[in-house]
Amino acid sequence: MKDIVQNNLERWLNSPKVSQEDKAKLNSMNEQELDDAFFKNIAFGTAGLRGILGPGTNRMNYFTVLKATVGFGLYLKELYKGLDNIKVAISHDNRHFSREFTLESAKILNDMGIDTYIFDALRPTPELSYAVRYKKCQGGIMITASHNPKEYNGYKVYDEEGCQLVPSKIARLIEIINSLNDELNVEVPLVENKGKNEILGQDVDDTYVENVEKIVIDKSLDKSNFKIVYSPNHGTSYVNAMRVFKDEGYEVYPVVKQCSYDPDFSATLSPNPEDPRAFIEGIKLAKEIGAEQICMTDPDGDRVGLATKLENGEFALMTGNESAAILLDYILDHKKKNGEDLSKYVVYNTVVSSMLGKAICDYYNVRLESFLTGFKFIGDRIHYYEKNNGYKFLFGYEESYGCLASPFVRDKDGIQAILLYSEMGLAYHLKGMNLVEAYDEICKKLNNFYHSELFNIYFEGSEGQAKMDKIMERIEKDPFKELLANKVKVIENYFTLTRKDLDNEKESKIENLPKGDLVKFYFEDGSNISIRPSGTEPKCKFYVEVCGKNRKETEGKPELYFEELKKILL
């Protein structure tokens, strides 16, 4: 590994293409920093490229963006051979170099003979997905690092349906990228008839918002005496969110200091709605004005965090599993009361989502399909059923705070989410209930309480990567059979797509899913644990869900399981 790092470092230090500024940065790095910057090439994960900004092969910079864009351009020209004008829509978030990477990507594609559409400024990820479909493009690019820390940026690619590329599609793109010269020596294949770059007009914003506002379920709800605090986390969603809130008549108070497009996220301790620190300023404001609910979009606007006011005036943060489950039940309950045939619908989530989603779908007799992590699988399945006149899409969600209610977008959509979360919160408020009480009521209806939490362990650099690989190998090859005297009943191994029942030692195939770096354990009491490496950060993720009769019975139990896991694995 040291040879790889040293060879890559020397290439960069000796290249005339690398700026003196970047060379100075490299010369100032310590051994650990150099190792992390050069031990591998930045690669497409669950959400495209994602990495720390800076010089290096494992970094987001002009050279790695250049290589990815040339590869994507060649991929589209191969896929649409014979098409006169291939079109790509590009958008970006508020991060450092996002606009520069957008303009550079557009120029590279134009030089390759591909037309591009870009916005006049930053726009959310879901609007990029919409723009691909609205302008009938063959692809899309979103420059974003989503909810990662400020040091990061990223690069996501989309197909003609506005959906991120699934493995069967991205495999060929990766082959093309890997066939190119190293990142410092990639040449743009110039053509005589260059493509054109066009700035997208107001009509994209207007029609996107119009489509969002169509998803309202109950327009009759009395919105007086229901104040909402909203934060865009310095990101892309402020304009669209406030426009939708105003159009729908909600009394909304933005966290003003977090509404600027600040790449340093100066007014928040975290841009990630999963992190309680992200809610500090929002909770302060909510207590000052007497708000009932707090909504927060992440920087690229595809995820939403939610907090609800308790009886004692404090605010409880809802997990992605909790907020999505309450919304799913809210949607299904309305459709059932309206007499709709629920058997024609399908709901999507992921294999690491809470089992509560399945319990709700079973209760309403609605089909549920679960996929590996990555909303691209959900977007791709929506297209499959549309093309084959199959089940009608109803709702899709991930535990990681992302959901979709209307498929005019093919990625998770934070603006759709905040609109329905606000309606849902209002509806329960009018019943005299907060969202914690709503969640408890749903679990009571289903005769089981579901308590899920996510835990992370970070593994930096080549040594960390090797350690994480060993942990996953051990989990796959020599899985534990019980934790805290709770016996494992079933093990799902997504490396091999096999399901093993430990009671009878029978093994079966997991159908209709691609292989993935994930192992899931189901326990006798209904609890479950999923373990997988992150596709966007150097960490291993542990999804722990325990079941019981009520909230009190499950308190603290996920932490106990995680501590036991650490003893076994570390």
Residues tagged active-site? 146
List phi, psi (to 5°) of 91. Answer: -140, 175
* 475-490: burial string, b at 16+ Cβ within 10 Å, e else: bbeeeeeebeebebbb
Alpha-carbon gap, residue 263 to 353, rounded angstroms: 31
Q: Please report which residue ranges of 138-188 form alpha helices under DSSP H.
A: 167-179
Strand partners, 532: 541
Alpha-carbon gap, residue 457 to 431, rounded angstroms: 41
Residue 392 near residue 344 (C-beta atoms within 8 A)? yes
Residue 83 DSSP label? -
Residue 484 near residue 565 (C-beta atoms within 8 A)? no
Q: What is the 3-state secondary structure (H, E, C) of 199-241?
A: ECCHHHHHHHHHHHHCCCCCCCCCCCCCEEEEECCCCCCHHHH
**Residue 418, both tokens:** 């905040």
DSSP string, 277-323: GGGHHHHHHHHHHT-SEEEEE-TTSS-EEEEEE-TTS-EEEEPHHHH
